[in-house]
Structure 1
Amino acid sequence: MRSGQPWAGQGQVVGLLGGSFDPAHAGHAHITREALRRFGLDQVWWLVSPGNPLKPDAPAALEARMARARGVMDHPAVRITDLEADLGTRYTAETLAALRTRMPALRFVWLMGADNLAQFHQWETWRAIFAQVPVGVLARPGQRMAALNSPAARCFAHARLRGDQMHGLGRSETPAWAFATIPMDHSSSSAIRAAGDWASRP
């Protein structure tokens, strides 16, 4: 792939953090470090997407977003990738299916913020995501109610891991998901774009 082939040892647990990263910021790095610690992950791969099907506006150029991401997230267990561009997938469920086919020796965990869980039922074939891989949700303080009362959370309430169980999320049978409240970080991609301190659109 164009960003270099990601690699992890056989049987390792790899968290996948997808998004436009338009632009990447300290908040993304913060939740990545928390995910590694809370969910017992061996690695996290950032999936810098060509575009977000739920967002009407095109993001900045992929190359610019990749470069920014590498500058923001410098950690030996984190890899910055453009996997979705390489795979030619558009939706998360498609990306997961392709990765599991290409890399069957790895165990994947889908990572997302609580704001995404709140509207997860709007994602394409969202139930298939829970069926394919465990899901790790990271929440800022104050985000719990909307996320935990969402259609997705209610649908899979029986599969939620709590307490010490969360550390074994990646080795749990699906469906399985965990919800971790983490310290606040106020960084915002939209605020950075609004301030004009970011790459121009293509």
Structure 2
Amino acid sequence: MRNGLPYVRAGQVIGLLGGSFDPAHEGHAHITREALRRFGLDQVWWLVSPGNPLKARGPVEMDKRMARARHVMRHPRVKVTDFEARIGTRYTAETIAALQHACPGVRFVWLMGADNLAQFDQWQDWQEIMQRVPVGVLARPGKRISAKSSKAARIYRQAQLPGRRSQLLGRAQAPAWCFVNVPMVNVSSTMIRARGDWG
């Protein structure tokens, strides 16, 4: 294992699900299992970030979030890593570039909920992300319409794969993205923190 990365072979397709996971919950696990099935992925890596630049409040300690993530997501093809903290990247585009450098020949797919697609154009170097890797978008509660009409969806409309061809996403040439509807789990980290069950 190098820089906290799981073992991987050239040619494999790895889904990347990034976030603060503050805390990880069944919604994260649910979309991960759906992503494995819908996008034909060999593995999914959870990239537990030091913090989200778009959020004013900092997350709880990394060790606690990593332990919770490993407890919530028990699957032989899903790995939890603190790669971003180890190498010091702050933004997703930087992290993806570093992963591509560290794992030559591996095909990466960035995964996100539809809520993230709705504000994707606010991310640092978001168009670089689209140009580097295919993007798999999974519908989450309340964000389907805003995601499909988002700036990112409009700009990259011609690069969208229809949901019925989602299995091809991992082998597609970027820019490529695919939006799939999945059975939804209405839970969020914000809800868990508000209940006082975390932190």
* Shorter-normalised TM range: over 0.9
The residue aligned with 2:114 is 114
Q: For the residues of structure 2 that align with 1:191 and 1:141, how far apart are their CA atoms? A: 13
Residues 1:5 and 1:163: Cα distance change in structure 2 (over 3 Å): closer
Amino acid at match of 2:32: T
Q: For the residues of structure 1 that align with 2:63 and 2:76, how far apart are their CA atoms? A: 21
Q: Deviations over 1:55-112 (max 9, x none)?
A: 0001000000000000000000000000101121000000000110110121000000
The residue aligned with 2:145 is 145
User: Structure 2: any 5+ residue segments left out of the alignment?
Assistant: none
Pairs within 5 Å for 1:172-187: 172-187=172-187
Amino acid at match of 2:54: L
TM-aligned CA deviation for residue 179 of structure 1: 0.2
Contact in 1 for aligned 2:11/2:105 (Cα 8 Å): yes
Q: For the residues of structure 1 that align with 2:4 and 2:133, how far apart are their CA atoms? A: 24
Amino acid at match of 1:177: W
Amino acid at match of 1:40: G
Amino acid at match of 2:182: I
Q: For the residues of structure 2 that align with 1:55 and 1:2, how far apart are their CA atoms? A: 29
Residues 1:174 and 1:126: Cα distance change in structure 2 (over 3 Å): same
User: Which has the higher mean CA deviation after the structures are superposed, 140-149 or 170-179?
Assistant: 140-149
- Counting matched residue pairs gives 199
RMSD value over aligned CA atoms?
Answer: 1.4
Contact in 2 for aligned 1:141/1:183 (Cα 8 Å): no
Amino acid at match of 1:11: G
The residue aligned with 1:190 is 190
Percent sequence identity is 65
User: Structure 1: any 5+ residue segments left out of the alignment?
Assistant: none
Q: For the residues of structure 2 that align with 1:21 and 1:140, how far apart are their CA atoms? A: 16
Query: Does 1:104 pair with 2:89?
Result: no
TM norm structure 1? 0.95
